[in-house]
Structure 1
């Protein structure tokens, strides 16, 4: 039975056939891989092989069952969209009576053609269905240079072009042995480190690799002007390197005098620097004492900004995220590493009643040097954001850790990433949060302060 074809799939590819187009009786163009490539039919193309819609050789032809005429499968959607009538006899085309004509496709594939490049020497002739296989490998096909030099030539000349003519073919620099493109040779030689150049002073050495020129000028060139070795002592004489020994032999007293004067000047400078260093050391000692005093005076603290408070509270109520954690902080530059956590809707027995706040000890880089168990007082503060600082009513709760054995899981040196949390399960009633200015712009601030009395400062 004939295979039906849906109008909506008119541009699809049937199981067999070659994608091509045809314009006139003797010439055509391919569509797809070789778009716009001319196909030369050996015999004039009969009218029955032309599509009445695009007037090209039929591509994957479909047949109208009522009238028997055909068109390209890719032309079918456009024909049905404008007017579902046969372009040849104007008979109505029934969408349900359009079939893929595989037999006619094979007939078209059997048409005799010759290579598009026959005018430049290709002798290939064969069936249309074999044209692609040949065309892809045709040695007379004009192709661009694979190295993008801009030249075009027949495929059979690619190897010769890349070997002998392409300005972008590889070559080896005779001086540094680096692989470069032929058209880059001149610019490369202008920077090649091994390219030989003459001494700019005109000494006997005529060919010096570019990368060795500075060393030659600095230590070897006999005509290079150099300062007297005693220039730092005050001698201003300058001459060619080969004449410097004579100057040193002729001026021993002058040079000895300059050296003596330089030693005395340096001695005075060293004495002055020594006095300055003593003053700076005293200042540094004072700064160290101030820093130590400030650390003990103010202690370690973190102010935690909790934004999007209302959304996070709803997540806590729904049990999606009952606990949130702050970024970690240190009690000192090399102190304990801690982190705050809070349950916005309460924790445990306090759930739905109280705001819960905790702190946990995290594994830190300097734990081996610190004293354990952790025994320093922790103070939590809910900050009032009232614009008048005098009217603020902060909520505060203080915890002094009990260092008994039972609390090792909370206060001992962490063996994992962090210890269990400790703090205030009933920090404050949930209703308090909505009073005064504890939340403003949907933001809440919690502060934790670690008392530093008796804390070892590393």
Structure 2
């Protein structure tokens, strides 16, 4: 753990591995207060205390031996609490290089029950979710409430103002999907109801027209019947007696009066319906729509032909673009490749690339590769402009990467050289920011690559954004550009 403003006798200061015959480990049941501020890279990613017998995972983060064992015992598929990467047993190794740096730090020894300290302070202690009452570790509790707890109150993403139980504008996460489906159905029903009303109006108009046509047909049949009766009456008038003719005429006059009354009622009814429902605008709209549909069908055929031609042109353009991009990349690599173990990496458009990293679109960027010699190790650098792991959000993280090369079968493995990472001061005052480390031969980051490249190794808290962007006696960003230098110590390195 870190110490602050502690006054003790000088003889109580010590280095952990300074005595002869001592093993490279902490003494049991003791707590260590470091005189100088201990860097974050030497703290456990789980309990956040000084690393005790450090082990490194495949994602590049370090854990105490007990913390990593505890994670593996508690979870079938343990995850790193920093970057949520799966922790694979075959990628875990003892980090003796880190262990040596920690044990060489000047510290004050305080007698204490270390086992009880780790048990009470460790972030793996059990806690209970306030919503679903499930018991879990404090590490998982925050993830559980933010992503998985079905009773955790969340706001509707559609911001619909739905009032849940108790009058709040939130729903339980487990009911959120049902809530969205319910309101989506209401929106769809509203549109369907509008369409249904329009269809009903059209149906009523069609039914009214059919009724009018039916009444007109009835009137036509009545007129035909009347004509037939009149012809019969003419025949009777020529052949029958006067009394019979008068009686028949009287009956036909009554029928004619009734028929005239029916015709007048029908004409009045038709006039009223026409005044209420003027079909001419509807017919004109229908005819106009028919013409537009016919015109659009013609345009559609022409568009299909044009789309086919455009697709062929796009395919040819994409082929040319791919060839140009491949050639440009090849020329860039040929021009920028170094064979002396040194790399000067120019990162332009710093603000834009950092914003892309903050937004999560392009989290990290790689440099061009370089070699220790013409037939030497193939290497590159990797930078996280918005930080990685413990440095995420406040630091620039810088890593060194061993890549698969053409001459790996002739080289000595693992890679053992000293590496210097440097952020160059462009003001000329040479206030460079430097981090030097020696490759750990036991780390999987420096074995012979089986894939395109090994796991990156370096500094997640290389330089803070505050120091990078607002330096006091230096200039690290100029013309929206920064320069990073990577140098490999070629001492004792045999050249093929």
> TM-score, normalized by length of structure 1?
0.34
Structure (1 or 2) with the greater strand fraction: 1
Structure (1 or 2) with the greater helix fraction: 2
Relative contact order, higher structure (CA 8 A, sep 6+): 2
